[in-house]
Chains A and B, each alone.
Chain A
């Protein structure tokens, strides 16, 4: 199918033929360093008492999202460039579906027993 005419030129994740090897290695090294840094920070924050304790879970969530961002940009090569529209859209659609299904499930399951009378009225407590 080599003679197939393609529309646009967006690349599959991982196809980056326009850069030379040096630039690509640099990209991966930067990604690795950032990922390690974020991981180390997460472990450090989890056990520290240098910050206000209730903020720790929030900080961990922020670090986790940053970690995902690093992976997407440096390893999966998601960019905002015009060659990447399909990948960005696919990611957005995936995130939307995950958000709807997971969020919806949590919400539904939390309200599951709203129409149930309290259990102690149905079943007499064991003596």
Chain B
């Protein structure tokens, strides 16, 4: 009846996950009860859960990413503490638990923090920057988000029902095969990634179509803001690479469920094929994450230097070059697996070549700052911190791209330090910069600068105190994923890293404090102009938060840095605005399709993990029926009458005019 599921699945003998699970459960219940009692449920359902508005979906993506960042961060804290105390002792985490923690940490941080954070920012900003009213497929967008949330939910369920994979974040066979991992851990891993992978693919298709097909009048490719370009490149990579991940995990699941032999040791399977395929996805994935971050930094650096982006066209070229070359380097993740010198040399050289367009970008940002009037607001601090940190991470990357050096450093703590250096210094700093930069756009008030700067300095220094010791430990020969060790020389470095982790945690607390303080002071921090940073691109040309239709008129684009030029023109000509003629606007209706679909997908995923076959069928039929109901809908749009559009837009225009005339007077 319930497949493999019984009471033994709940780890009563392990207090840590059980207490953590109980705390989270109580917190969720408390929030639910509060929502129901206060009568917020209809608002939540109508305005957020069923919303197909790209801005709302973007905010929900970022919220999901932030919550999961806390979960992944807790795993990181536990690992640092374990390695700080596990010298010649077992520490406080038994090996099977420790292995689950580092697997969950990697899986969560990549798939459920970095991915939803950047996809959320792209969702929120790209339609606004392109001057359009929504993404190409609004309901599909909602489906994509809720499927990602399903994946995150399944990973967290593994904390209290059953176990998570003990195989590392990429579940290499033969360890992940049934003979070595008979439990449900790898199944949790694989099914949550399969389901959220569908969500990511859908988001990728949606954003590619949006950039290619929905641009406002005059917005040709070479007038798009840089963030739109990096979004295009990143989502092209999603569309090209995620099917490889899905196929690879599908083969692993066939091995596990139906006795196939793709990656087994016996019966003609080849373990190395898994490494090859997973990294053919895995390397483009790195650029899927970091390209949008590059776009964010381009916007931030240009805005806060008060200058147009230096070398815009070379930046476009560099972005697209990275997009293609990222598919030519994947072997550098397994130089040591036995390929000959020819293969290793070619992929080593390709890996060094990809540093060139990245270097071009760094110089472009530096030259954008050169001669500019730089304002060190919080987003700019993250951008400068990124440049310093990412260069160091990039250099150690070029170092391990040399095959002989890689033979020494493969799977050492040096590698761990390297990829945290680029992912934290690149992707996470970028996500934080984008968060600080676009928060006023999404909610209509700024974030508190004092707490923001504190958060930056704690995170920035905390990062170095944590990860420089890991470089050193790697040089001293420490390998990754060690539950305990007996080498005295490593110990001090592990203690320093734990101190750094404490500083990083203070950084995170500062960021939470920043949110709390800002929400309390929101009236003082209110931004009525829609343009708090003196921005350059179209998202600042509408109110904050933007109305549901984004723009009352299709903006007319006549060059790069559209909004900046509009402001300049308005000041020079002191335009007398006559009342424009407003029209009715059609917008897509909200739809529960995404939420219902993900509900059934969760049931199906859970049932697949526990081999509850009748429930699998139930979930599958439910998800398909949701799709059929949606496909046969009659009305999918509603009309906002011109009078309502006019009423909303007049307020915004008034504020904006006073801003322009004030700035003109100065």
Contacts and interface: CB of A to CB of B under 8 A. Distances in A.
Interface string B18-58: 00000000000000000000000000000000000000000
B617 interface: no
Q: Which of A93, A108, A114 has the most CB of B within 10 A?
A: A108
A16 to B, nearest CB: 17
Contacts of A7: 215, 217, 219-220
Given A3-B583, A7-B219, A108-B339, 14 more contacts: A1-B586, A1-B587, A3-B586, A4-B132, A6-B214, A6-B215, A86-B212, A101-B280, A104-B280, A112-B339, A114-B339, A114-B341, A114-B343, A116-B338
Contacts of B276: 105, 108-109
Interface in B319-367: 324, 327-328, 330-331, 337-343
A105 B378 CA distance: 44
A30 interface: no
A111 interface: yes
A59 B272 CA distance: 33
Interface string B119-159: 00000000000001110000000000000000000000000
Contacts of A86: 212-213
Contact of A4 (B133, B280, B342): B133
Contacts of B343: 107-108, 111, 114
A113 B342 CA distance: 12
A105 B588 CA distance: 44
Interface string B575-612: 00000000101111000000000000000000000000
Nearest to B340: A114
Contact of B213 (A3, A6, A105, A115): A6
DSSP majority for the B interface? mixed
Closest A-B pairs by Cβ, 6 of them:
A114-B340, A5-B217, A97-B240, A115-B338, A111-B340, A111-B339
B327 A100 contact: yes
A4 B555 CA distance: 11
A11 B21 CA distance: 51
B648 interface: no
B240 A93 contact: yes
A94 interface: yes
Given A93-B236, A112-B337, A5 B327 contact: no
A55 interface: no
Interface residues of A, number: 25
B653 interface: no
Contacts of B244: 101
B554 interface: yes
A72 to B, nearest CB: 18
A62 interface: no
B585 to A, nearest CB: 7
A96 interface: yes
Contacts of A3: 554, 583, 585-586
B586 A109 contact: no
Contacts of B637: 1
B335 to A, nearest CB: 10
Interface in A1-35: 1-7
B396 interface: no
30 contacts: A1-B214, A2-B586, A4-B133, A4-B214, A5-B217, A6-B215, A7-B217, A7-B220, A86-B213, A93-B236, A96-B324, A100-B327, A100-B328, A101-B244, A101-B280, A104-B328, A104-B330, A105-B273, A105-B276, A105-B277, A107-B343, A108-B331, A108-B343, A109-B270, A109-B272, A112-B272, A112-B338, A114-B341, A115-B339, A116-B338
Given A1-B134, A4-B554, A96-B324, A113 B338 contact: yes
Interface residues on B, range: 35 or more
Contacts of A2: 586
B216 interface: yes
A109 B586 CA distance: 54
Contacts of B215: 6-7
B338 A114 contact: yes
Nearest to A107: B343
Nearest to A116: B338
A94 B583 CA distance: 41
Contacts of A4: 132-133, 214, 554
B247 to A, nearest CB: 11
Interface string A95-127: 011001100110111011111100000000000
B181 to A, nearest CB: 24
Contacts of A104: 280, 328, 330-331
Contacts of B339: 108, 111-112, 114-115
Interface string B253-297: 000000000000000001011001100100000000000000000
Interface string B208-234: 000011111101100000000000000
Nearest to A113: B338
Contacts of A93: 236, 240
A93 B216 CA distance: 25
A105 B219 CA distance: 40
A55 to B, nearest CB: 31
A87 B551 CA distance: 29
A107 B280 CA distance: 13
A115 B336 CA distance: 9
A109 B212 contact: no
A118 B163 CA distance: 41
A108 B217 CA distance: 47
Given A93-B236, A101-B244, A115-B340, A5 B272 contact: no
B133 A1 contact: yes
B288 to A, nearest CB: 13
B240 A94 contact: yes
Q: Which of A3, A5, A107 has the most CB of B within 10 A?
A: A5
Contacts of A114: 338-343
A79 B302 CA distance: 40
B244 to A, nearest CB: 7
A109 B280 contact: no
A96 B343 CA distance: 19
Contacts of B341: 114
A107 B342 CA distance: 10
A92 to B, nearest CB: 11
A7 B216 CA distance: 7
A119 B212 CA distance: 53
A101 B280 CA distance: 7
A104 B339 CA distance: 12
A113 B340 CA distance: 7
A101 to B, nearest CB: 5
Nearest to B212: A86
Contacts of B330: 104
A114 B270 CA distance: 16
